[in-house]
Amino acid sequence: MAEKSILWTTGALGDGAAAYGQAEAIRWQRQQWAGDNASEGVHKGYANELEVALGDVGPPPEVDVAAGAASVYGFPYWSTVVESVEIPIPVISARIDRIVLRASWAAQTVRITRVAGTEGAGAPALVQIDGTTWDIPLAQVGINTLGALNITDEREFLHPNIEVETAMLEDLAVTEAKINALAVTEGKIGALAVTSGKVGAGAIIDGKQGVAFPIYRRQGGSATIWSTAGTTTYTPGAGARIQVGAQNTDAVGYLAVTFPVAYAYLPLVSLTAFGSGNRYINIVTVSTTGFTVQASVAASVLFHWLAVGPSA
C-alpha cells in the first residue's frame, strides 16, 4: 500500500471504494501522536486527567480514577465519571498494584484495570503485546496489611506529533521551570537574537554567566554596592576576575594585602598612591593570594589597588 486515506463513505469513489477497518483507523490515530508505541496516553487538560486518588477506606479500601480521556495504542478512550477500584488487603506483607488503562483486542474495549502485584515484591510489569493487550500506566498503589494505601502517579501525557511554530506559543508559556538544564545551547540562538530589549532588568546574575563574563568584586566591600561594608569570603564562578581595594600602609611603610579570592595564576596588580608630598609605593612581592607593598616614607600612605587575572 503506497497511499491510503480513510473516513470516506465506503463503496463509493476514490479511497471510499475500498472498505477500511480497525487496522487502518488505529494506524492513522497512532501517527498523530509522538512515540511509535503511543505509550504516552492521557489527554492533558481534559476533565480531571484520569488522576488516581484515595477513595473509600473500606475494607477493602478503594482508589478513585477521575474523569478524563486518553489514547491507548491509538484507541480513543474517555470517561465522564469517577471510577472506583477495590484494592484487596494483603495477608502476609505489603504489596504494590498498578492501575492502568488496558486495551483488549479480544474484548474490543479499553478499561481501567487493576494489575495485581505480588506480596513482598515490586510493582507488576505492564502488559504491552501488539494485537492482544496493551497497558498504559496511571498509578502505582502500595498497600500494607492494615489496608493503608500509598499512591504514586505514573500518568504520561499525550504529545501531538507536530511542529510548533513560534507564533503558536502563548505569551509567557515557556517559563524557567519548563526549560531543562543545558536545553538552550549556543547553536539554538540565532545571530543577534538576544537584544538588550529581550533581557529583563536583573536577569543576568553571576550564576547565569559563563566564562566570558568578568567578575568584579571589591575587597572588604559588598558584592553589589561599593560604598557599604561586605564579606571577603564570597567565591565567584569561573572566568576573568577583577578585584580592587583601598588600603593604607602601616607606620613603617609596609603592608601585606590578601586578595578576597585567590587567582589561578599570578595576576596583574597596579597601584595608585594618594596624599601630600612625593609619596609613592612599590610592589615588593606578588602571589596568587595577595601582594606586599613598601611606601617611600615611614608613614601611612593611602593607595588604591587593582588586580586582574584568571579565576582559580
Edge-to-edge strand order for the sheet containing 302-310? 215-218, 240-248, 302-310, 268-274
Q: How far apart are CA 218 and CA 230, in angstroms?
A: 9
pLDDT on residue 275: 62
pLDDT on residue 34: 63
Ordered per-residue pLDDT tens for the chain, 312 residues? 455 556 666 777 776 677 777 777 777 777 777 655 555 689 888 999 999 999 988 889 999 999 999 888 888 888 999 999 999 999 999 999 999 999 898 888 899 999 999 999 999 999 999 889 999 999 999 999 999 999 999 998 888 777 778 888 888 878 877 787 777 777 777 777 777 777 766 666 655 655 444 444 444 444 444 444 444 544 445 567 888 888 777 656 677 888 888 888 888 888 887 765 556 678 888 998 999 888 766 567 777 888 888 776
Task: Calculate the alpha carbon distances from 41 to 34, 53, 83 in Å.
Answer: 10, 18, 18
pLDDT on residue 213: 41
pLDDT on residue 87: 95
Task: Calculate the alpha carbon distances from 268 to 236, 238, 243, 275 in Å.
Answer: 18, 18, 11, 24
CB atoms within 10 A of CB 25: 15
- Look at the pTM and tell me if it is higher than 0.85: no
Q: Where in the chain is the domain with CATH 2.60.40.2080?
A: 215-310
Please, are residues 148 and 63 in contact by the beta-carbon 8 Å criterion? no
**Phi and psi (nearest 5°) for 209?**
-95, 140
CATH class of domain segment(s) 215-310: mainly beta
Give the β-pairing of 254-258 and 215-218. unpaired
Q: How far apart are CA 95 and CA 61, in angstroms?
A: 14
Residue 273 grid coordinates? 598612591
Dihedral over Cα of 40, 45, 49, 54: its sign: positive
Please, are residues 145 and 58 in contact by the beta-carbon 8 Å criterion? no
Give the β-pairing of 240-248 and 215-218. parallel
